[in-house]
Structure 1
Amino acid sequence: MLMKERQGTTVQSTPESAEEISRFADSYASFNRIINNLQRQYIALEEEFGEQNRQLIETNRKLVDMTGRNLKATEFLNGILTSISAGVIAVDRQGHVTHFNPAASLLLGIPANRVVGSPYRDIIPPGRPVEANALRTVESGHGCESVEKSIDLPDGTKLLVSVSTALIRDDHGEPVGAVEVFHDLSRIKKMEQELVRLTTLAALGEMAATIAHEVRNPLSGIGGFASLLKRDMAEDDPRQRLVDKITRGVESLNKTVTTLLNYTRFDEVNKEDVDFGEFLNRIAEQYGHDHADIVDGSTIEIAAAGPRPRPVRVRVDPMLLRQLFYNLYTNAIEAASRAVIIQVTYAQLPRQTAVQKYGDRVLLGVDETVIETVVSDNGPGITPEHLERVFSPFFTTKQDGNGLGLAVSWKVAKAHGGDILAANTADGGAKFTLLIPAKIDPVDREPNL
């Protein structure tokens, strides 16, 4: 038995209490081990959390970076689709329009806000062939490439386009929609038509020398002999009428040959600087004097257009341009069965307006704009089926016409680097618009030109 003395008192320590003390010591040591182990686990967990947090921050940074790149790529793609001149239409698997770029809106004449989210078949004109569109590609699973298609526009006109379509697939290769891309072919068709005209012109040019030699010389002989015959006849001789018919026929053929030669050869364009308003007034006066036999009450009115009428100066060939306007005036008067009023308005357009209004019809230099001259009348106008052919050589609706007057006018416009367009006025009369490039008036010069 163990005895311990404390402050004069004797305490006796039993084996049971010693055992409890030992167990407590063991428990305390075990508790300390658990605490130490928990501390080590906490430190390890804290380190692991810190690593995972760093990884999460890095992943989040990469995600933000990737999202930013995707956003930039989306913006870039949208920028491309907004800027290109081709129309682009995308649809989903249900046939609803998901994208409709500005070019598609402009070409089809349909506002984009009416289209996106709507069924394709309810909004977009089907055109011919009907197979060449995004909706058919979604339904069939097959695209098409460079198919010529005619589309009926809301304003009643037709648009000829080249269409390509393809399926849109997701990352797993599954189809999620289709895209349709179409290009306006009107410019190409216009170039093809002009190429045909130029080819015809080249062929006529080769014929011109032969015609001049083979036709004019015999005509001169016929005309000369007719004059001799008439000189030897008495004034009351009934054969005088037949000789007069021969003379008129020779004059008519000579006029046709001269017109043909004028159409086939413009060897030189001799331009002069003219006040365009004065020039037009002088031509109208000369026309009335030279064609008094057909004018017969018809009038020609000249006026400057625009908010600030002022002298418009332009370099033109006066002889060729006089021929152009003579042809237009004669065409207006002969097409009507009564006296007509011919109105001529002219203006120098601001360059931006000229480019927006007429595009590539006139090739302009950086310091050039367009002189727009509109010649309209109150006559019967031009039938729709004839509008596309009025400038073609030998096309005429007159019994005694040769079909070269307006063809020569077109050639004169082209010789000046311009163009001439035919249409009808709102009142039903004919309207011809002559476009001639001219130097920009310093008053109208824009800072960026």
Structure 2
Amino acid sequence: MKTYLYRIRFVMAVIVVTVLPIIITGIVLVKSAEQALLAEKKQKLIAITQQLDFALSKDFDTIVVEAGLEKAEKEHKLQALNEKMQPLTDRIALAHPGIGVGYYSAALDSIVTYGPSNEMSLYIGQSIRETHPGRSVMQTRQTDVVIGEQVRGNIMNAMVPLIRNDQVIGYAWANELMATIDIQLAGMRQSIYAILGIGCMIAAAASGLLVHRFEVILSEIKSGLKRLSQDLSFRLRKMDGEPGEITGAINNLASDLQASRSRTETIMNSMDSGVLALDQSGHLIAWNETAIHMIGFTSSRAKGMHYTEVFTESEALLHILLDTLQNGQAIRDAMWRHQHPDRGVLWLKVSSSIWKNTTEEVLGAIVLLEDRTQWRRMESRLAQAERLAVIGEWATSIAHEVRNPLTAIKAFAQIIEEEWPKDHGSREYTGIIVEEVERLNRFTDELLLFSRPNEESNVPVRVQEVIQHTLKLMEHAEGFNGVNVQLVYNEDIPAVMSSPELLKQVFLNILHNALQAKPMEGRIQIDIKNINNDVHVQITNEGPPIAEENLLAIFEPFFTTKQTGTGLGLAISQRIVQVYGGHIFAQNTPEGVCFTVVLPIRAKGGL
């Protein structure tokens, strides 16, 4: 509605601006034409009176004397003068239709002649009023033109004094009825008004077309600007004239903005840190690709949304943004444990600052995100390696201290068993003693393997071959039948420097765990990849996820969630791989649990 009213006001304003000057010009033109016509009439009447003055070759007294009537009555004198001068006034009146001409005698104080005589003869012999302008003309001896009621009626009357021998003998006049002049003025006005009307209509039509054209151009520019606000690659079409200069300037500005935004986006997307920009009300307005990768939100859905709607499950980040936006408090190096929808738990370092423009006006907040997950994992692995080394030293001492007594116990038990008859009831107990001693020996062997995994030889090993041998060993394991094992690798996977037997032990331990965790008729996926000069062996099973707090703890010695087992299998595997400069980590995936064994193509230490 406002736009409609604006258009009406705009159209009316344009019409007024174009038509009003025409109307004012027309009014001025009518007034000027009227004045010009009246002035032309005056000049014409004055010229006729001058003609009358020039045509009177003799004065009135001479004409009377020549007629022998110098002593006659006034009527006879007037009659003689009229007979003498009537042909002259009739001839002049005939030459100028509508004009009344005549002479007035000061001596006789009467109208001598008045042409055309067929219309004006009744006025002959009349005297003019004392207030008649003719008397002023005779007194002042000045030509004058007067409009008003006089002898003939409402007329324009031009009067010239008749001066002979320096004596005013009367005056001559030429007049025209104002009704006739008004008719001429009315005709002139009608013509001018018609021209003005046509001009106004043309001006209004032209203004309407101009306004329509202007509205079309403005509408196109407006829609173009609206589209440019969403897509800086859009360009307005080229136009002629000044609109073309405007659209050209807009296109140039859009190109500059696009180039500037492209540079900014390139810089932002080249950063390893994630960047979020929020306006003062807390709505997300900008971010880089790194932030999307770190947080895992959908960019098309998040734009313009309030941060409380985007990060509903991230209480720590909500507190940081709240402190920054509402309290103006910048946050430095806060740690945020973020549950990524696809990548699991990530540790992000969060810093926030107040976003201000050049005039120090607060525009919102800027948030920087740094992925510290690998650093956190490396820190955890380093601490774990230190713990494993200490435990390894302790395990070596325990294994040596336990192994010698176990050997003696086993030997004495076997001697006692040999001395008893085969049907002796106690032989059952000596058998139990020997079995338990052998179990303890196996345990001490695991402790020694955990403490000294680097005693094996170090040779180039193709990991895919070790995996294949390990799978053959697993064929006889309980529950392996019916398992769908998929091994995926490229033939160009480089060899690693390690012990085949120890690596086989690593994969046996992981596969045993996968076998125990998988459901019946489950699937185990093994992928071997070359990533950043490291061989990655990813073993994924379809079992239930591991609790997030246990993803690192499962590699600790003696940690287990099973009813049976020593809890040394994964710890020994981690210890072996660490000796070769690698590491093992576990993560939950949509398919299940994935154990990744990372082995450097060139040994980083240990062997």
- The DSSP-based 3-state class of the residue aligned with 1:267 is helix
Residue 262 and residue 84 in structure 1: after superposition, are their counterparts in 2 closer, same or farther (change >3 A)? same
Secondary structure, in 3 states, of the residue corresponding to 2:553? Answer: coil
What does 1:50-199 correspond to in 2, within 5 Å? 77-125=264-312, 127-129=314-316, 132-154=319-341, 157-199=344-386
C-alpha distance in 1, partners of 2:454/2:579? 10
Residues 86 and 399 of structure 1: is their aligned pair in 2 closer, same or farther, counting only changes over 3 Å?
same
Q: Is the aligned partner of 1:407 residue 2:571?
A: yes
Matched, 1:370 2:535: yes
Q: Where does structure 2 lack aligned partners over 5 or more consecutive residues? A: 1-254, 603-607
Residue 454 of structure 2: SS of its match in structure 1? coil
**Pairwise CA distance, 1:275:** 4.9
Structure 2 CA distance for partners of 1:195 and 1:297, relative to 1, 3 Å: closer
- Whether 2:500 is the aligned partner of 1:318: answer yes
Aligned to 1:384: 547
C-alpha deviation, 1:423, in angstroms: 5.1
Aligned to 1:298: 481
1:395 aligns with 2:559: yes
SS of residue matched to 2:554: coil
Counterparts in 2 of 1:196 and 1:435: CA distance versus 1, 3 Å:
closer
Q: Report the CA distance between 1:181 and its aligned residue.
A: 1.3
AA aligned to 1:141 is: G
CA contact (8 A) 2:344 2:588 kept: no
Moved more, 137-146 or 415-424: 415-424
Offset from partner CA, 1:334-381 (integer Å, 9 cap, x none): 567x9877746444x3x5xx3xxxxxxxxx4xxx353535364x6x54
Moved more, 138-147 or 324-333: 324-333
**TM-score normalised by the chain length of structure 1:** 0.66
Deviations 1:45-103 (A, max 9, x none): xxxxxxxxxxxxxxxxxxxxxxx999988765544322222221111222222321111
1:191-222 C-alpha deviation (Å, 9 max, x unpaired)? 22212211211211331342133211111111
- Give the greater-gyration-radius structure (CA): 2
In structure 1, the residue corresponding to 2:390 is in which secondary structure? Answer: helix
Structure 2 distance, partners of 1:131, 1:302, is 44
Contact 1:298/1:333, CA 8 A, preserved across alignment: no
Where does structure 1 lack aligned partners over 5 or more consecutive residues?
A: 1-67, 355-363, 440-449
- How many residues align structurally? 347
Change in 2 beyond 3 A, CA 1:344/1:235: farther
Alignment-derived partner of residue 50 in structure 1: none
The SS at the match of 1:129 is: helix
Q: Kindly tell me: are residues 313 and 144 of structure 1, through their superposed partners in 2, closer, same or farther at Cα, counting changes over 3 Å? A: closer
Report 1:233-272 matches (<5 A): 233-268=420-455, 270-272=457-459
CA distance in 1 between partners of 2:293 and 2:319 (Å): 20
**Does the 8 Å contact 1:277/1:311 carry over to 2?**
no
CA contact (8 A) 1:96 1:118 kept: yes
Counterpart amino acid of residue 539 in structure 2: V
For 1:85, the aligned partner's letter is D
Q: CA deviation at 1:404?
A: 0.5
Q: Give the stretch that moved more between structures: 160-169 or 266-275.
A: 266-275
Partners in 1 of 2:589 and 2:266 — Cα distance?
A: 39
Root-mean-square deviation (Å): 3.7
TM-score w.r.t. structure 2 length? 0.50
Which secondary structure does the structure 1 equivalent of 2:555 belong to? coil
> Structure 1 residues 327, 153: CA separation in 2 closer, same or farther (over 3 Å shift)?
closer
Q: d(CA) in 1 for partners of 2:515 and 2:424?
A: 36
Q: Shift of residue 414 of structure 1?
A: 2.9
Give the letter for the 1:432 counterpart. F
Q: Is it true that 1:225 corresponds to 2:389 in the alignment?
A: no
Contact 2:388/2:575, CA 8 A, preserved across alignment: no
CA deviation digits over 1:112-147, x for unaligned, max 9?
A: 333333332222346233554335412212222122
| 1:436 to partner: Cα distance | 3.3
Query: Does the CA contact (< 8 Å) of 1:276 and 1:311 recur in 2?
Result: no
SS for the counterpart of 2:510 is helix
- Structure 2: which amino acid aligns with 1:298? N
Q: Residue type of the partner of 1:400?
A: T
Return the alpha-carbon distance in structure 2 between the equivalents of residues 407 and 343 of structure 1: 21
Local SS of the residue matching 2:564:
coil
Of 119-128 and 164-173, deviating more is 119-128
Deviation at 1:273, TM superposition (A): 3.5
Q: Which residue, out of 271, 281, 287, partners 2:468?
A: 281
Q: Which residue of 1 aligns with 2:595?
A: 432
Q: Is the 8 A contact 1:126 1:151 kept in 2?
A: no
Tell me, in whole angstroms, the C-alpha distance in 2 between the residues paired with 1:102 and 1:227: 71
Query: Residues 270-290 of structure 1: CA distance to partner in whole angstroms, max 9, x if unpaired?
Result: 3333454444333333455xx
Query: In 2, are the aligned partners of 1:132 and 1:147 still within 8 Å (CA)?
Result: no
SS state of the match for residue 441, structure 2?
A: helix
1:297–1:339 CA contact under 8 A, matched in 2: no
Instruction: Evaluate the alpha carbon distance shift between residue 287 and residue 398 of structure 1 in structure 2; reply closer, same or farther with a 3 A threshold.
Output: same
